[in-house]
Amino acid sequence: MAGYVNTIKDFKTKENPEFLAKVKELQPILHHKNLSPVNRIELKKTEDNSWLIHGRKGYMPEKKLVLQKDTPLCLEFPNHQVGYIRFFLDVVGSPLDAPVHLRIKLGEIVEELGEDTKDYHGWLSSSWLQEEYLHVDVVPGWVELPRRYAFRYLSLEILNQSLKYQIGITNITGKTVTSAEEEAVEELPADADPFIKEMDAAAVRTLRDCMQLVFEDGPKRDRRLWIGDLRLQALVNYYTFRNMELVKRCIYMFAGITGADGRVGACFYIEPKLQVDDTVLFDYSLFFISCLYDYYEVTKDKEFIAELWPTALRQIELSKERLGFGGILKDSGDWWCFLDWGDNLNKQAGAQGVFIYTVKQAIGLAKIVEDEKALEMLEELCRQLTSSALSRLWDGQQQVFVSGEMRQVSVVSQVWMLLAGILEDGAANKLIDRLLAGEIQLPLSTPYMYHYFVEALFQYGRREEAVKVMKEYWGGMLEKGADTFWELYNPADDDFSPYGSKVINSYCHAWSCTPSYFIRKYHLK
Question: SS3 string of 412-474?
Answer: HHHHHHHHHCCCCHHHHHHHHHHHHCCCCCCCCCCHHHHHHHHHHHHHCCCHHHHHHHHHHHH
> Cα–Cα distance between 75 and 153 in angstroms, integer?
6
**How many residues at the interface with a copy of itself, by CB under 8 A?**
45
**Shortest distance, position 244 Cβ to a copy of itself, whole Å:** 28
Contacting residue, 24, 44, 45, 147, with a copy of itself by CB under 8 A:
147
Which residue type is seen at 101? H
Q: Which is nearer to a copy of itself, 122 or 364 (CB)?
A: 122
CB-based burial label for 242 (10 Å; 0-12, 13-18, 19+) = middle
Contacting residue, 160, 332, 387, 391, with a copy of itself by CB under 8 A:
160
DSSP letter at 31 equals E
**Shortest distance, position 264 Cβ to a copy of itself, whole Å:** 16
Q: Give DSSP secondary structure letters for 231-297.
A: HHHHHHHHHTT--HHHHHHHHHHHHHEEETTSPPPSEEE-SSS-EE-SB--HHHHHHHHHHHHHHHH
Contacting residue, 36, 39, 126, 171, with a copy of itself by CB under 8 A:
126
**Shortest distance, position 145 Cβ to a copy of itself, whole Å:** 10
Under rule CB under 8 A, residue 166 binds a copy of itself: no
Of the listed pieces 14-22, 119-127, 175-183, 233-241, which binds a copy of itself according to CB under 8 A?
A: 119-127
Of the listed pieces 130-138, 200-208, 242-250, 316-324, which binds a copy of itself according to CB under 8 A?
A: 130-138
Q: Which is nearer to a copy of itself, 158 or 488 (CB)?
A: 158
Nearest to 483 by CA among 166, 198, 115: 198
Strand partners, 174: 35, 85
> Cα–Cα distance between 442 and 260 in angstroms, integer?
37
> Cα–Cα distance between 432 and 34 in angstroms, integer?
47
Under rule CB under 8 A, residue 335 binds a copy of itself: no
> Cα–Cα distance between 354 and 375 in angstroms, integer?
18
CB-based burial label for 514 (10 Å; 0-12, 13-18, 19+) = buried
Q: Which is nearer to a copy of itself, 161 or 319 (CB)?
A: 161
Sequence-distant (≥ 6) Cβ neighbours of residue 471 within 8 angstroms: 195, 199
> Cα–Cα distance between 509 and 229 in angstroms, integer?
9
> Cα–Cα distance between 485 and 508 in angstroms, integer?
5
Contacting residue, 31, 64, 86, 101, with a copy of itself by CB under 8 A:
101
Q: Which is nearer to a copy of itself, 21 or 163 (CB)?
A: 163
Under rule CB under 8 A, residue 163 binds a copy of itself: yes
**Shortest distance, position 130 Cβ to a copy of itself, whole Å:** 9
Under rule CB under 8 A, residue 61 binds a copy of itself: no
**Shortest distance, position 246 Cβ to a copy of itself, whole Å:** 21
Under rule CB under 8 A, residue 60 binds a copy of itself: no
* Torsion angles phi and psi, residue 280, rounded to 5: -125, 130
Under rule CB under 8 A, residue 95 binds a copy of itself: yes
Under rule CB under 8 A, residue 13 binds a copy of itself: no
Residues in 193-232 that interact with a copy of itself by CB under 8 A:
221-224
Under rule CB under 8 A, residue 66 binds a copy of itself: no
Under rule CB under 8 A, residue 100 binds a copy of itself: yes
Contacting residue, 79, 86, 171, 269, with a copy of itself by CB under 8 A:
269
Q: What is the CA radius of gyration of the chain?
A: 25
Evaluate whether 440 touches 408 at the Cβ level (below 8 Å): no
Of the listed pieces 178-186, 273-281, 314-322, 476-484, which binds a copy of itself according to CB under 8 A?
A: 273-281
> Rule CB under 8 A: which residues touch a copy of itself?
3-4, 7, 94-101, 123-128, 132-135, 137-141, 146-147, 159-164, 221-224, 269, 271-272, 275, 277-279
